[in-house]
Amino acid sequence: MRLQPVPTTMKTGLSQRQQLLQKLSPQQIQLMKLLQVPTASLEQRIKEELEANPALDEGDQDSSVDEFSNTEQESENEDYQEETYELDDYLTEYIEDDPSSYKLRANNYSTDDEEAVIPIAVQLSFHEYLEQQLGLIKLQTEKEEAIALQIIGSIDEDGYLRRDPISIVDDLMFARNIFASEEEVSNILKRIQELDPPGTAARNLQECLLIQLNQRLEQKNIDDDEHEALHVAHKMISKYFDGFSKKHYEKLQRQLGISEDVLRAAMDEILKLNPKPASGYSSQSSNRMTQYVVPDFIIENQDGELVLRLNQRNAPELHISDHFRHMLQDYSHEKAQGKLSRSQKDAFRFVKQKVESARWFIDAIKQRYETMYRTMYSILQFQYDFFQTGDQKRLRPMILQDIADITGLDVSTVSRVANSKYVQTEFGTSRLKDFFSESMQTSEGEEVSTLEVKKILSEVIAEENKRKPLSDEKLKDILREKGYQIARRTVAKYREQLNIPKASLRKEL
C-alpha cells in the first residue's frame, strides 16, 4: 500500500475573540501598595506624597470650602477621562517606589497629643572601632598601615576574615598599587588579632576560640581551677575540635584523660567565649539603624471584652489644598464661559491632574484603614480564645482563604494586610502571619492547628534530659501518645522551623 500525502490548506482572515485582561486603576494600585506598608513606614510615605503633590494638604480643613458642585464636577470631567493601566506597566513604573501608607486619626487621640518618635540608636561601627585601635599595634610604615586597613576592610560582619593572605596581597596590588608579601600580611594579621574584641579577624571558629582562650590564659587574675579549665579547653579546641563540635563527650574524656567534672568546667569556659566577635557592634554600614517593632494593631481587654483599634499615631489628616480647590473652581468657571487661553488650559490640566491624584491618595488611605480593620477584626473573632488567654494551644487552624471568605476580600488582599504587620496584645506583640497555620487531625478526628503541635513539641524538648536528648523518632512516639498522628520527617520539619537543633547537638553534660 502506498501512502499519498494529504494536501493541507491554510486559511487567512480576520476574526474576533473575547479575552479577559486584568486592568487596575491607579487608585487600586495605590491601595495595593498602601496595604503592604507597615505603620512604621507610614508617616514617611505621607511626607513624600505631600512633597510630591502640592494639591495635597495636611491639618484641619477650612470648613468654608465645600466639595465641588455637581455642575462643576461635570464641567471638570468634560475633557478628562480616567486612565487605566495594564498591571505589568504600572508595576514596572512604580516597582522601585518606597512603601507608604496613611493613618486616620482615632477618636482617642487629640491634636494636642505629642508625636511618637521612633528613636535611632547611634553607634560606632565595628570597622571604625578597629581602625581607632590601630595605634595600639604600633605600625611603623605607611605600607603596614595600608595592609592593616585592607585586612580590616576584609573582615565580615561577624568579625571573621574570610580571605586568605594571598588574596589580600592581590587586593593590595590591584586596589592600592601596593606590593606586599604573604609573610607581611600574615604578620600584620597576627597583630590585628590582638585587638578588641577578642577573636577578631579569625579565619574560622576554631581559630576564633583559640585566640580568646590564649588571651584568657595570659590574664593574671585567675585561680588554679580556672587556669586548669582554660588549659583543658585550649587543648580540646586545638587538638580535638571535631569531637568538641559533635559533642562526643565520652570520647573527649578518654582522649584528654580527665574526669566529667573537669570536662564540664572546660565546657563552661568555652561557653563564655563569643563565636561572633562583632556581634556587639553595628553592621559594616555606619548608617544602619536599630530596628524597632511598631504594632499596626492594638487589642485591649476591657473588662473581659476585646477591643481592637489601629495604631494611629503620627499620621496627619489629609485633604485637598484650599488653594488648589479655588484654582480649579475658577478655571472650571472660566472654561464654561469659553474664556480659557492656551496657557490657562495647560494650567487647568495640571491643577486638575494634581487634584485627582490627591483624591486618589486620600481615598486609598481611607480604604486601607477600612480593609486593615476589617481583616484584623475577622482574625480577632476567628482566634478569640487565643487573644483572651494568650495560650498558643488555643490557636485554631486558619489559612488566608478563611479570612477571605469571612471578609469577602480577595486572598491576595488578605495576604498584603497580614504581611509585615504586627499586633500588640496584653501577652506581647506578634506577627499577623504567625496566626495562620495548616490543620491536622488528632487520633480522635479533631482538627488542630500545626502551631499547637509545634508548641507541644517545643515543650517536650524543653523538658527532656539534656544528657540524653530525644531523637526525632522518640519525639514522634511521644506526640502520637498525646493523640497527634505525625510522621518522623514532619517532626524534623517542625523542629527545624522552631530553630531547634537535632538531638546530638542538644546534648549537654
Note whether 132 and 276 are same-domain residues.
Answer: yes
Q: If you search the block for the grid coordinates 498602601, which residue do you land on?
A: 34
In a domain, 269, yes or no: yes
Among 390, 417, 436, where does a domain finish? Answer: 436
Give me the pLDDT at residue 447, please.
64
Per-position pLDDT tens, the chain of length 509 = 555 555 555 555 566 666 555 556 666 676 777 777 777 777 778 888 888 888 888 776 654 444 443 434 444 444 433 333 333 332 233 223 333 333 333 344 444 444 444 444 445 688 888 988 888 888 888 899 999 999 999 999 889 998 999 999 998 998 888 899 999 999 999 999 999 999 999 999 999 999 999 999 988 888 888 999 999 999 999 999 998 888 888 899 999 999 999 999 999 999 899 999 988 774 444 444 445 678 889 999 998 899 999 887 656 788 888 888 888 887 787 777 777 788 887 887 888 888 888 888 888 888 888 998 999 999 999 999 999 998 877 888 888 899 999 999 988 888 888 887 899 999 888 888 888 877 666 666 666 677 778 888 988 898 888 888 888 888 988 888 888 888 888 888 888 888 888 887 788 77
- Let me know if residue 328 belongs to a domain: no
In this structure, the answer to whether residues 227 and 181 fall within a common structural domain is: yes
The residue out of 436, 454, 479 marking a domain boundary is: 436
What's phi and psi for 307, nearest 5 deg?
Answer: -120, 130
Domain count, the chain: 3
Q: Is residue 210 part of a domain?
A: yes
**CA nearest 362: which of 111, 104, 115?**
104
Residue 331 lies in a domain: no
Nearest to 383 by CA among 426, 310, 432: 432
Claim to verify: residue 93 and residue 210 sit in the same structural domain: no
Same domain, 294 and 431: yes
Domain edge (last residue) among 394, 411, 436: 436
**Looking at residue 337, what is its pLDDT?**
75
pTM above 0.75, yes or no: no
Residue with cell 480577632: 380
- Count other C-beta atoms under 10 Å from residue 202's C-beta: 23
Same domain for 212 and 313, yes or no, is no
Query: Is omega for the bond preceding 197 within 30 degrees of 0, making it cis?
Result: yes
The grid coordinates listed for 60 are 484641619
**Domain check: are 418 and 450 in the same one?**
no
Q: 132 and 274 share a domain?
A: yes
Establish if 47 belongs to a structural domain: yes
Domain of 191 in residue numbering reads as 126-280
Q: 60 and 39 in one domain?
A: yes
Question: Taking the CB of residue 206, how many other CB atoms lie within 10 A of it?
Answer: 15
Looking at the fold, whether 470 and 421 belong to one and the same domain comes out as no
Domain annotation covers residue 330: no
What CATH number is associated with residue 481?
Answer: 1.10.10.60
Q: Is residue 373 part of a domain?
A: yes
* CA torsion, ordered 226, 231, 233, 236, to nearest 10 deg: -160
**Residue 393: strand, helix, or coil:** helix
| pLDDT, position 123 | 55
Same domain, 422 and 297: yes
Same domain, 255 and 142: yes
Burial of 176 (0-12, 13-18, 19+ CB in 10 A): middle
Same domain, 272 and 130: yes
What is the rounded distance in angstroms from the CA atom of residue 411 to the CA atom of residue 405?
9
Residue 7 lies in a domain: no
